[in-house]
Every structure is written in C-alpha cells, then in structure tokens.
Amino acid sequence: MFEDKTLVCKECGEEFVFTAGEQEFYEAKGFVNEPQRCKACRDARKNASRAGREMYTTVCAACGKEAVVPFKPRDDRPVYCSECFAKSREE
C-alpha cells in the first residue's frame, strides 16, 4: 500500500526517505501532512527549546538517589527521580 518516498528537508535542503512504515504510522495517528524536516533537523529543533532550561539536582524522596529536575525543589513537597515518579504514576 505505501512505498518509500524521498522528500527534501526544508531546513537543510538534504533529501531524506519517508519510509512506508513511517507513512503507516502517520496515517494511524491521523496526521495528514508529510514531514518537512529530516530526522536530524527535527531532533535539533526539538532540543533547541530544551537547551535554555535550567535543571536542578536534588535527592529522590523515595529511593534516595540523585535526581535532576526542571523545576526548583521546595522543602514542603517530595521530589522523585524519574523511575520512582513513573512507579507512582502506575499506582
């Protein structure tokens, strides 16, 4: 049904392949537009917004390991590492 397509990145001008599997994924998610940027440019664009974020180091309230979080921890609320936070979300 789908065939690989070669597209041109609007950011860097390089060609990239929009695979049949990616096209199936886009259709399943209801996306109607093809990607306009190659993977490298998409990743760079995504990470650019994260670069200016200030991160804080603290200790996990559950396991005691070091945790790095994108907000300033307060003494009145527990802070969890990503593993303990994920476990608490499951419960």
64/46 same-domain check: no
Question: What span, in angstroms and rounded, lies between the C-alpha atoms of 69 and 72?
Answer: 8
- Range(s) of the domain holding residue 81: 56-90
Decide the pairing of beta strands 66-69 and 56-59: antiparallel
10/37 same-domain check: yes
45/73 same-domain check: no
69/41 same-domain check: no
39/61 same-domain check: no
Question: What span, in angstroms and rounded, lies between the C-alpha atoms of 85 and 72?
Answer: 16
40/67 same-domain check: no
Per-residue pLDDT of the chain (91 residues; tens, 9 = 90+): 899 999 999 999 999 999 999 999 999 999 999 999 999 999 888 877 766 778 899 999 999 999 988 899 998 999 999 899 988 888 7
Number of domains the chain contains: 2
46/67 same-domain check: no
